Amino acid sequence: MKVGVFDSGAGGLSVVKSLLEHKLFDEIIYYGDTARVPYGTKDKNTIIRYSLEALEFFNNFDIDLLITACNTVSAHALTEMREASGYEIVGVIEPGIRALENKLPTKDAPILITGTRATIASGRYQRELMERGYHNLTAIQTGLFVPLVEEGIFDGPVLDEVMEYYFKAISAPSAIILGCTHFPLISDAMRDYFEKSPLMIHSGDAIVEHLADQCGITGSDGENNLKIFASDNVEGLRRTAKGWLGDV
Ligand code: DGL
């Protein structure tokens, strides 16, 4: 199978990593809109417009399925993208919610939702969780983590300071939804910030479970042929991919 993975920039490589580890696909076509990242600070109409333009890129490839690794796109543009495309499109929000439900069925457990301004403002995670009975929710925009991760800062004093800024009023969440492509790279630091290690919900792992349960995609002998494209500085994105993906 050939899958497309779309993200606003480099962050979606965190989802690609999970796909590669499970060898689900023969070919992965990755497109990062690096010329226009971040999407998380844009308004809904702009996010939809950029996402529909990205579909035009994927028209050059005969993909079987598209994964929108970007939480911001998944929160705002999935309906419009699905209407405009001829293939199945899977976002990351529903898989993340399912993963949480499977691992933490206790409905009154305190859950911390993190994400970009646009993702949190969309209220998508909050609504879907409340529909499933979760009611002890705190949602915060943690956009400063995005440039830190882009700079390769995954731990240390600067990150500690930013975590203190965002999390100082939050006590003991049972789970944290990493509602942004970049946050899995600082998942360990976020978990260690809190005394009782919360359950971390990672879009990449959640997508793998979702593809198996909802789409019947379980193969483990895919060829893992990854092709990376970008709207700006593709060489830079390929270098980032080497660093983030390691030997997978
Ligand atoms: N990919 C975005 C997300 O997951 C983060 C970066 C951005 O703001 O574009 O929400």
CA distance 71 to 178: 9
- Spatial separation of the C-alpha atoms in residues 49 and 104, rounded to whole Å: 36
The answer to whether 36 touches 72, Cβ cutoff 8 Å, is: no
Domain 2-91+205-245 in CATH 3.30.230.70? The answer is: no
Distance separating alpha carbons of residues 85 and 201, to the nearest angstrom: 29
Q: Which of 10, 16, 19, 70 is catalytic?
A: 70
Q: Cα 65 to the chain's mean position, in Å?
A: 17
Is the pLDDT at 104 greater than 90, yes or no? yes
Question: Does 51 contact ligand 1 (Cβ within 6 A)?
Answer: no
pLDDT tens-digit readout, 76-95 = 999 999 999 999 999 999 99
Rounded (10°) CA dihedral 66, 177, 123, 17: -20
Report the CATH fold assignment for 93-202.
Rossmann fold (3.40.50)
What the block records as the tokens of 25 is 């696909």
Using DSSP's 3-state secondary structure scheme, residue 225 falls into strand
Q: For 202-219, write each residue's pLDDT tens digit.
A: 999 999 999 999 999 998
| pLDDT above 90 coverage of the chain, percent | 96
Angle CA 85–203–62, to nearest 5: 30
Stretch(es) of the chain classified as CATH 3.40.50.1860: 2-91+205-245, 93-202
Instruction: State the catalytic residue, choosing from 180, 186, 189, 208.
Output: 180
CB 71 within 8 A of CB 39: no
